[in-house]
Structure 1
Amino acid sequence: MTRPSDISPYPFVYEALASAFHAEGTNVLFALLGDGNMHWAASLTTLGVRGVYARHEHCACAMATMYSNATGNVGVASVTCGPGLTQTMTALATAVQARVPLVVFAGEGPIKAAFYNQSIDQAPLVTATGAHYIAGRSLARMTDYVRDAFFVARTERRPVVLGVPLDLQQQSLGASFSYKPSAGFIPHFSKILPNPEDVGKAVAAIATARKIVVLAGKGALHAGARAACEELADACGGMLATTLPTRGMFDHHPFGIGISGGYARAAGKTLLHETDLLVCVGASLSYFTADSGRLFQNAKVIQIDTRPVGLKHGRKAADIYLHADAGEGLRAIIDRLPSDRLDPGWRTAAIATEIADLTADGTEFATQPGLIDPRDAVAAIDMVIPKDWEIVNSSGHCAYFAAQLRGRKPENFNVIREFGAIGNGLSYAIGVAVAKPEKTVVLIDGDGSLMMHAQELETVRRLGLRLLICVLNDGAYGSEIHKMRADGISDEGAVFGRGDLSAMARGFGLRGAKIHELDQFPALFEAFRTADQAELWDIHIADNVTTPVMRAHVHK
């Protein structure tokens, strides 16, 4: 749209909004354009912001979500009003559950039109997901709406949708404006120090415990408290565990037992059942981390967190709370531990050997000719992929297998599982690839999830992203067929056949290979390394291998 020079010297509303987004530090915009956002988006990219254009609105929102997760910055996405926004509901709900700061510019239908076929009451839809909605209707407050959106996203760590009617966007602002970004209004606090009385309670509990596990979550990772977690565990002769997002943090430690929860390795699960004291650092002790309450049932729990909660997912979270930063809480406890505090008897050479065993799940299944056990497929991927490459773990039945990769730092492991939605993997991988252009990104996904948004393979090719897409292809929706079979009902509604996903990738202009033997992995990896092009591995896996999580679900 060309500015009519004889009407007003002041910027259009969409230009002022774009300037405000730019001032908030927006570097990348993930979008699908339409009437409600295209003038604003064009203005934003004119300011030097990179535009990444998806083929589906859900995917634009999901890409921005993982971009935020990978960078620590507020993710920015944009879709048009009405159907453009309704397409994002699952991605928004997922970002809410994962507490990802996200701002979505969505536009609204024109307020002066008697009829507009894409009009809908957008606010109830957005707020139903748990996201915040801002309806931008006042010219005088137009740029303030942007500040408010970023303020909420940053301070509450949740998505915000800003809707501005498209005809209002194309009006002249009518006045000059200055903009003060939200960062100038956010209070900055000193580190939270624990109450000495609470520290005393924690130390007393440690003094009487004999089998202690120190469990680290994202709060510990972001606070740089890895070494302090290890110091406490070493002082207590205890074990070290993590939540799923921080898996790999203690893989180098002989008594790092891996993930706590349904994804726990066999040895780790046994040790977590035995613990009598769990020291939880920067983790919320969710339903998943506690494996539906089946782990550490008899243990007393200490929670160190800046936002401790008494009730989490219907369960009592802890017995002793330290309201403190992860590092400060750990240091206060360590400094008050007696030097001869513990008999390190729980740590033995035999346990260290059991922990080092690479077998996450030793359950045997009947061999299916021409198909690969998914556990073996992931082990083969783990053998060839360099440890410093970025891994994206999707959702669904296959996600358990990908979580068993060993010796990889949590900073290079990208996962959002909170809402349990499949179909996000490819979008998340694109978000990571845009966030970290110097890295090679490996997505491990299922065929059902990939096929939900396979159109984004075109986005991968168009952007020239360096992705290796590993599809664990069981020809079905894995979780559903295993539940159906366990319940004795027909699985035909969840079985679709494996097809040839490698041919589909080639159709989108990418490289593709079908894998049905383990000895194919090394040569294919070397070819990928030298090809400098995105590639899809269509790995045909057995559909009779179930995860421990699934077996616990269907047999309960």
Structure 2
Amino acid sequence: MPKLYEALADAFLAEGVDTQFVLMGDGNMHWSTAFSKLPGVETVHVRHEHVTVAAATAYNVATGKVAVASVTCGPGVTQLMTALPAAVRARLPMVVFAGESPINAKFYNQAIDQAPLVTATGARYIAAHSLPRMMDYVREAFHIAKTERQPVVLGVPYDLQKVEHMANQPYETSEMYHPKVGRMHPDPEVVAEAVERLAAAKRPIIFCGRGVLWSGARDAVIKLADRSGALLANTLPARGLFHDHPFGLGIAGSYFSSLGREMFESADLIVAVGTSLSYYTGVGHYWGKSFKIQIDDAPRGLRDGQKAADIYVKSDSRVGVEALLAGLDKKLGSGKPTAATIRTKELEHRIATEPADAMKFDIAPDVLDPREVVKAIDAVVPKDWDVVVGGGHQAYFNTQMKGRPADRYTTIREFGAVGNGLSYALGVAAARRQGRNGKIVLFEGDGGLLFHIQELETLKRQGYRILICAMNDGGYGSEFHKLRADGLDDSLALFGRPALEKISQGFGLRGHEIRDVSAIPKLFADFSAQGESEIWNIQISDQVTAPVIRQTIKRGHGNM
């Protein structure tokens, strides 16, 4: 008779799971082994529990599928406390198969109450303690993950996993219980009010988030922008959403380009689509003169301590945008222009040619301007490659790369944690399944890369090819720039410039130090011609301060 862990593995397969990110221990080793043996399953064994969830979040961004991570009980679960909040806040669905300490043991040294730890992050916890309801627990976990777009941790005592189990009926998947409700439609009166505002606006901008990707609304948004004469912009998670549109401003908010900030500060109307309008979108700092309309399936009104918008169109993104488009034609007549005047030939030229940030800095001769580094990398890496980004000060510069679509860009920044870049790249590599022909570039800081440097061994063992661009400024850039601005000692934020390329070589991978951007084309050609991952230890100046940090310093660090 089969064991329960085998039945649980079969249930996960029935839910459509084809990849697991796992660090094995007593509490999950039977399940993860059984699941790895099932047809079509890719198993990525990582070297730290945090990485299981962090990689799974990136896998979800890259594929749209519910991601699965697995850890053991006790210490395995406590190691997830940084990765889970990021997935929660980014609304990324995931199921974590976690062991629990043996339910029948009188003592177990790894025992801890896991549920309050998990729920404190905002994730859901299901304690699977009833044998007759085990398949119900699995179905409920996937149902919650899909319908509520959040991580769910399924905790199963590992002594129960080993009992014999014979199902009385075939497993019923969560999809069988998914309500077929169709897309959410907006209130016609609210739409009419929004149409009045859009028709009269002279300097409108349509600003979009990940909800546009989830809804498949990109084409409809572009039609609305062209019909209304509006400019286009996007959030950081949706970077590249309008990469090929001549009036696309790129990212708005903390990662503005100079031109983007200028346009938002002079806009008279912002139509925000598929974004929750968080603090970092700039709604409270740069949109003061504009009237704001939000199209979203869950508008909050009060977001991050500030008013999000003036009109709320509660709707699926695509349906709401199409309603505004139809409303304009009804009000003005088909093809008749709105009052918008913001689109000009001059602006189109500025968008195409102006650098994102032209601030001058004194740069020593043996180190590089990170903006020039990114420009050189952008010139040689094909546009169909995935770009993955970690966190920290270095993360601004690569966001200004040109002509790269949103479905080839991955970052999860909603919790503000650094050290995730290598984990995210692993998740994307597993999603693409390109192996030693991988087309993935990771941008990460030197400090962030060292957080989980052990995952270089995972890259080698799994046979993934990733180009890791380590932007090495010799410390924690965000911190030393702020300390300097406050006139304080920055020495504790500086730790020298480790030979990251030699660390990479120690794991059996490739590595190079870069102090001259002219070397980049040949190095990339050499990388593309072989099949191993590689670190470029790029020596960048610690004097170049990203605009987001300059804004923080000007406002006063900690003054939100």
TM-score bracket for the superposition, by shorter chain length = over 0.9
Using the TM superposition, give the Cα deviation of residue 112 of structure 1 relative to its aligned residue in structure 2, in angstroms: 2.0
- Is the aligned partner of 1:24 residue 2:23? no
What is the aligned partner in structure 2 of residue 316 from structure 1? Answer: 307
What is the aligned partner in structure 2 of residue 401 from structure 1? Answer: 397
Provide closer, same or farther for how the CA distance between residues 178 and 344 of structure 1 changes in structure 2, counting only shifts above 3 A.
closer
Deviations 1:251-306 (A, max 9, x none): 32221111111111111110000001011111111111126x11111111111122
What is the aligned partner in structure 2 of residue 3 from structure 1? Answer: none
Using the TM superposition, give the Cα deviation of residue 527 of structure 1 relative to its aligned residue in structure 2, in angstroms: 0.4
Provide closer, same or farther for how the CA distance between residues 524 and 358 of structure 1 changes in structure 2, counting only shifts above 3 A.
farther
What is the aligned partner in structure 2 of residue 494 from structure 1? Answer: 493
Deviations 1:309-331 (A, max 9, x none): 21211111111122222222222
CA distance in structure 2 between the partners assigned to 1:396 and 1:188 by the alignment: 41
Deviations 1:404-431 (A, max 9, x none): 1111000111111100101110010010
CA distance in structure 2 between the partners assigned to 1:493 and 1:142 by the alignment: 51
CA distance in structure 1 between the partners assigned to 2:322 and 2:169 by the alignment: 48
Q: How does 1:87-126 map to 2 (within 5 A)?
A: 87-126=79-118
Amino acid of the structure 2 residue aligned with 1:336: G
CA distance in structure 1 between the partners assigned to 2:19 and 2:25 by the alignment: 18
Amino acid of the structure 2 residue aligned with 1:357: T
- Is the aligned partner of 1:359 residue 2:350? no
What is the aligned partner in structure 2 of residue 169 from structure 1? Answer: 161
Gaps spanning 5+ residues in structure 2: where? 556-560
Amino acid of the structure 1 residue aligned with 2:154: L
- Is the aligned partner of 1:13 residue 2:10? no
Q: Contact 2:200–2:339 (CA<8 Å) still a contact in 1?
A: no
What is the aligned partner in structure 2 of residue 384 from structure 1? Answer: 380
Gaps spanning 5+ residues in structure 1: where? 1-8
- Is the aligned partner of 1:43 residue 2:34? yes
Amino acid of the structure 2 residue aligned with 1:342: T
What is the aligned partner in structure 2 of residue 4 from structure 1? Answer: none
CA distance in structure 1 between the partners assigned to 2:222 and 2:511 by the alignment: 43
Partner-residue secondary structure (3-state), 2:237 = helix
CA distance in structure 2 between the partners assigned to 1:217 and 1:260 by the alignment: 10
Partner-residue secondary structure (3-state), 2:524 = helix
CA distance in structure 2 between the partners assigned to 1:109 and 1:179 by the alignment: 26
Amino acid of the structure 1 residue aligned with 2:359: T
What is the aligned partner in structure 1 of residue 558 from structure 2? Answer: none
Q: Contact 2:376–2:517 (CA<8 Å) still a contact in 1?
A: yes
Amino acid of the structure 1 residue aligned with 2:374: V
Q: How does 1:305-344 map to 2 (within 5 A)?
A: 305-337=296-328, 338=332, 339-344=335-340
What is the aligned partner in structure 1 of residue 530 from structure 2? Answer: 531
What is the aligned partner in structure 1 of residue 244 from structure 2? Answer: 252
Partner-residue secondary structure (3-state), 1:472 = strand
Provide closer, same or farther for how the CA distance between residues 47 and 476 of structure 1 changes in structure 2, counting only shifts above 3 A.
same
Using the TM superposition, give the Cα deviation of residue 341 of structure 1 relative to its aligned residue in structure 2, in angstroms: 3.9
CA distance in structure 1 between the partners assigned to 2:515 and 2:354 by the alignment: 23
What is the aligned partner in structure 1 of residue 131 from structure 2? Answer: 139
- Is the aligned partner of 1:461 residue 2:453? no
- Is the aligned partner of 1:350 residue 2:346? yes
- Is the aligned partner of 1:290 residue 2:286? no
What is the aligned partner in structure 1 of residue 212 from structure 2? Answer: 220
Q: Contact 2:200–2:340 (CA<8 Å) still a contact in 1?
A: no
Deviations 1:159-202 (A, max 9, x none): 11111111121122366453101111110222222222112101
Aligned mate of 2:222, from 230, 233, 236: 230
Q: CA RMSD for the aligned pairs? A: 1.4
CA distance in structure 2 between the partners assigned to 1:498 and 1:122 by the alignment: 39
Amino acid of the structure 1 residue aligned with 2:99: G
Aligned mate of 1:243, from 211, 235, 251: 235
CA distance in structure 2 between the partners assigned to 1:295 and 1:284 by the alignment: 16
Partner-residue secondary structure (3-state), 2:313 = strand
Using the TM superposition, give the Cα deviation of residue 358 of structure 1 relative to its aligned residue in structure 2, in angstroms: 4.1
CA distance in structure 2 between the partners assigned to 1:259 and 1:382 by the alignment: 17
Moved more, 210-219 or 301-310: 301-310
Q: Contact 2:201–2:339 (CA<8 Å) still a contact in 1?
A: no
Using the TM superposition, give the Cα deviation of residue 355 of structure 1 relative to its aligned residue in structure 2, in angstroms: 1.4
Q: Contact 2:205–2:269 (CA<8 Å) still a contact in 1?
A: yes
Deviations 1:207-238 (A, max 9, x none): 32211001121122233322322222222222
Using the TM superposition, give the Cα deviation of residue 245 of structure 1 relative to its aligned residue in structure 2, in angstroms: 1.8
Amino acid of the structure 1 residue aligned with 2:418: I
CA distance in structure 1 between the partners assigned to 2:369 and 2:539 by the alignment: 9
Q: Give the structure-2-normalised TM-score.
A: 0.95
Q: Contact 2:74–2:112 (CA<8 Å) still a contact in 1?
A: yes
- Is the aligned partner of 1:84 residue 2:57? no
Provide closer, same or farther for how the CA distance between residues 235 and 175 of structure 1 changes in structure 2, counting only shifts above 3 A.
closer
Amino acid of the structure 1 residue aligned with 2:406: P
Q: Contact 2:185–2:316 (CA<8 Å) still a contact in 1?
A: yes
Using the TM superposition, give the Cα deviation of residue 375 of structure 1 relative to its aligned residue in structure 2, in angstroms: 0.9
Provide closer, same or farther for how the CA distance between residues 250 and 50 of structure 1 changes in structure 2, counting only shifts above 3 A.
closer
What is the aligned partner in structure 1 of residue 192 from structure 2? Answer: 200
What is the aligned partner in structure 2 of residue 6 from structure 1? Answer: none
Q: Contact 2:268–2:290 (CA<8 Å) still a contact in 1?
A: yes
CA distance in structure 2 between the partners assigned to 1:104 and 1:301 by the alignment: 38
What is the aligned partner in structure 1 of residue 432 from structure 2? Answer: 436
Using the TM superposition, give the Cα deviation of residue 455 of structure 1 relative to its aligned residue in structure 2, in angstroms: 0.3
What is the aligned partner in structure 2 of residue 5 from structure 1? Answer: none
Aligned mate of 1:190, from 159, 182, 189: 182
What is the aligned partner in structure 1 of residue 142 from structure 2? Answer: 150
What is the aligned partner in structure 1 of residue 514 from structure 2? Answer: 515
Partner-residue secondary structure (3-state), 1:427 = helix
| % identical aligned pairs | 51
CA distance in structure 2 between the partners assigned to 1:297 and 1:512 by the alignment: 47
Amino acid of the structure 2 residue aligned with 1:294: H
Aligned mate of 1:268, from 260, 264, 280: 260
Deviations 1:21-66 (A, max 9, x none): 1111111111010100001111111222221100111111111111
Partner-residue secondary structure (3-state), 1:345 = coil
CA distance in structure 1 between the partners assigned to 2:90 and 2:466 by the alignment: 24
Using the TM superposition, give the Cα deviation of residue 343 of structure 1 relative to its aligned residue in structure 2, in angstroms: 4.0
CA distance in structure 1 between the partners assigned to 2:452 and 2:210 by the alignment: 29
Partner-residue secondary structure (3-state), 1:89 = coil
Amino acid of the structure 2 residue aligned with 1:334: L
CA distance in structure 1 between the partners assigned to 2:268 and 2:386 by the alignment: 36
Partner-residue secondary structure (3-state), 1:107 = strand
Provide closer, same or farther for how the CA distance between residues 175 and 204 of structure 1 changes in structure 2, counting only shifts above 3 A.
closer
Amino acid of the structure 1 residue aligned with 2:24: L
Using the TM superposition, give the Cα deviation of residue 241 of structure 1 relative to its aligned residue in structure 2, in angstroms: 0.8
CA distance in structure 2 between the partners assigned to 1:171 and 1:376 by the alignment: 60
Deviations 1:346-369 (A, max 9, x none): 222222222112411111111212
Q: Contact 2:204–2:340 (CA<8 Å) still a contact in 1?
A: no
CA distance in structure 1 between the partners assigned to 2:546 and 2:439 by the alignment: 28
- Is the aligned partner of 1:415 residue 2:415? no
CA distance in structure 1 between the partners assigned to 2:156 and 2:342 by the alignment: 61
Moved more, 470-479 or 314-323: 314-323
